[in-house]
Amino acid sequence: ALPVYLIGAAAILPWGLSFTADNIWRFLTHDIVPYPLRAAPAETGETLARLNEWLQTMLFEQALPGAAITIQLTMIALVCSGLLTLLFFPLISPLLLGRSARTLGHTCLVIIRSTPEYILAYVLLQLWGPSMLPAIVALALHNGGIIGHLVGRYTEAITLRVDACRGIRRYAYEILPRVYRQMLALLFYRWEVIMRETAILGILGISTLGFYIDSAFADLRFDRAVFLILVTALLNIAVDIISRQIRARLRLQTRMERQ
């Protein structure tokens, strides 16, 4: 089926668009070069002073404030995703619910995790106005639905004793302790993804790094946009490294251990 999809994708591409080497060369050698370096020729000292001023403006007025909001929003969304996972995974666990209830739970989780977080955030933005709340709720629902589905599937590999307790005690004392490490591993695994999604949600007006990147593109200041994209990439790389180290130190793994 993959070759068919590739042929279909190639067939619907807008081949009428034209690209010129001159525009590409101008973009790479002029548009993305910091403005002080491509402005009118000046003495080296004056050029360096302008470049230093440009860097300070980008760092202290856009990059650092945007990164701070991005990290803050990411951490809140990460914690909320974990809390929602605790509520979502019992919906599809055969050890906690019957077949009819699990069918309804599967349907709800499919809808939640299949709806893009950008769509959720946009809808909530129309209801609640521009703030962090729509982004937090959208990210938490989407990622909580994904992790909740995976953790719920993990419970299918758990075998309980015949005399195991039931109800809320089964959830709290039998199931949750056995899947908690896998849940943490998945949360840390999704941490970098949540960070990237948080930055992108800036296009909806939330003052994350994505907000400043979108503003730079809107003003045709490609040098600023590229600088902020590099900052975003470095931030995501740092989060990914920290996540890997935490998972390795705590010996967290996403596969189910023998029960």
User: Distances from the Cα of 162 to the Cαs of 152, 165, 250, in angstroms?
Assistant: 21, 9, 32
Please give the average per-residue pLDDT across 107-134, as a whole number.
89
Q: What is the pTM of this model?
A: 0.84
Q: How far apart are CA 96 and CA 34, in angstroms?
A: 59
The confidence score (pLDDT) of residue 118 equals 87
Q: How confident is the model over 12-41, as pLDDT tens digits?
A: 776 666 667 777 778 778 788 888 887 766
Q: 220: how many CB neighbours lie within 10 A of its CB?
A: 9
The confidence score (pLDDT) of residue 40 equals 61
Please give the average per-residue pLDDT across 55-62, as a whole number.
92
More confident residue, 106 or 19: 106
The confidence score (pLDDT) of residue 45 equals 73
181 contact partners, CB below 8 Å, separation of at least 6: 250, 252, 253, 257
C-alpha of 91 from chain center: 24
CB 152 within 8 A of CB 169: no
Please give the average per-residue pLDDT across 160-183, as a whole number.
88
Please give the average per-residue pLDDT across 30-57, as a whole number.
80
Q: What percent of the chain has pLDDT over 90?
A: 44
More confident residue, 106 or 251: 106
Q: How confident is the model over 153-162, as pLDDT tens digits?
A: 999 888 888 8
Helix axes 176-200, 209-218, angle to 10 degrees: 20
List the end-to-end C-alpha distance of the chain, in Å, as a whole number.
39
Query: At residue 33, what are phi and psi to the nearest 5 degrees?
Result: -75, 135
CB 232 within 8 A of CB 209: yes
